[in-house]
Chain A
Amino acid sequence: MLTKVIGCGLVVCATTAIGMRTGMEYKYRVEELGRLKRVIWHLKGEINYSRNALPDVCFQVAKRVENPYKSWLCCMGESLEKKGYSDLGKLWQMETLAHFEDTHLNRKDVAELADLGYQLGYMDVVRQEETLKWYGARLEEIRKPLAEKLEERRRLCTTLGVMSGIFLAILLI
């Protein structure tokens, strides 16, 4: 009996931990989207102020942000200077996919960021600003409802974890 009780306790603890972790992941994604939005805001400001080419813009913004954005922008700047690909979109995509695999952004977030390169570079400065502004707004569009429901979702995940643990414990008993 004691073994069963201990086993059930462990099951409930484990499922509760899974629930809490899921809730935390949710919180991390919201924070990461906020950070990405700030990076995009920096990129837009740098283009608007300095009117520099993209490699310089990347290097300048990299000085003001933390990893993984710092390393992403440094590598992006270096790749742009090396001129390995004939089009910016492809190069941007490769670097982005390589740097955001293990972050809290989900696949769709990373795919959208990777596609941003196809919109950058050509036309005038206004177009660059508009593109980055649009993408910043798009990030906010994703982040805001997530942030509003953050506490609710976290509680839900934790509760679901506990409840599923209890359910499994009843089945085991």
Chain B
Amino acid sequence: MKEKQLYRILPQRIREILLKNEVKFESLQEIRMREGQPLFMRVNGRDKEYLHFVSREELKETLEYITDYSPYAFEEELRKGFLTIQGGHRIGIAGKVVMEQGKVKNFQYISSINIRVCHEVKGCADQVLPRLVSNGKIEHTLILSPPGCGKTTLLRDLVRQISDGTTFMSGKNVGVVDERCEIGGCYRGVPQNHLGRRTDILDGCSKVEGMNMLVRSMSPEILAVDEIGSEEDREAIEYAIHSGVTVIATAHGDALEDIQSKEFFWFKKIVLLGKSERAGEIRGIFDDRGNRIC
């Protein structure tokens, strides 16, 4: 299904290249189209260059398909430079922007499109989740890694398992604040990724506002949020924690030292990810004192 949804937005010629080169959907991570430049695809973590020069018409055609021939309906998303399509695939765009009062108003020309293919890795949290539970309760957890190491993928699977329940834990109400539409990959407000039966999602909402809204209105037992870092994020997390909600969050960082300066002291478990061998590799799970649990 996700495969069809992806192919539908590609120009005919690029679809043919995918088929001709037998690029498997499971291993396809990114498609990069830049005007006048060769087509690039990231397959199994490696960039591959194809002998096809992307034309302006192909970019225009892709944009028409991405927006269902209705760029007006995606004004806000285009202003932010990305949008999510059916299947949860994320499209990033770049080019010449039109500024108004110091803010991006729109794109005058689009010269690059980057399609990040959405893959759910169900079960990737199997080894992690049992270690986040203490006395039958999930502890406040921070997933830490550099970009592209699978933080969001791990968070997504944790949300799914916590929401649906596992053999050692019954399902819980989970609230997700998905500011960049990456966790649920929502399309028209409906998550395209399986986030579990007891999950409420606020899509495209700012983290701070979303966390406060969910705590007040949906009474989640667990609150999941992606890529925290600012002072406001910390205040919103503190509010959620004081309201009795368990927080699972992700942040950018390469080592435990990276978060010490950011005062993330309330997280009881820290999951450190890397990609020396493969994306999503668990480098370690630590407690709040920095002691390695596994």
- Chain A residues proximal to chain B, CB less than 8 Å: 47, 51-57, 80-83, 86-88, 91, 121-125, 127-128
Contacts and interface: CB of A to CB of B under 8 A. Distances in A.
Nearest to B58: A86
Contact of A87 (B9, B64, B70): B64
Interface string B234-263: 000000000000000000000000000000
A80 B75 contact: no
B24 interface: no
Contact of A83 (B65, B73, B74, B188): B65
A28 B55 CA distance: 48
Query: Which secondary structure dominates where chain A touches chain B?
Result: helix
B75 A121 contact: no
Interface residues of B, number: 19
A125 B68 contact: no
A128 B64 CA distance: 16
B72 A121 contact: yes
A145 B76 CA distance: 42
Interface of B: 8-9, 11, 57, 60-61, 64-65, 67-75, 106, 188
8 nearest CB pairs, A to B: A53-B70, A53-B68, A88-B69, A53-B73, A86-B61, A54-B70, A121-B69, A83-B65
25 contacts: A47-B72, A51-B72, A53-B67, A53-B68, A53-B69, A53-B74, A54-B68, A54-B69, A55-B68, A55-B69, A55-B70, A80-B68, A80-B69, A82-B8, A86-B57, A87-B69, A91-B69, A121-B64, A121-B71, A122-B71, A123-B71, A124-B72, A124-B75, A124-B106, A125-B75
A52 B73 contact: yes
A138 B154 CA distance: 56
A86 B69 CA distance: 9
B164 to A, nearest CB: 30
B13 to A, nearest CB: 11
A83 B65 CA distance: 6
A53 B60 CA distance: 17
A161 B53 CA distance: 67
Contacts of A81: 68
Nearest to A128: B72
A127 B74 CA distance: 14
A127 to B, nearest CB: 7
Contact of B70 (A82, A86, A91, A121): A121
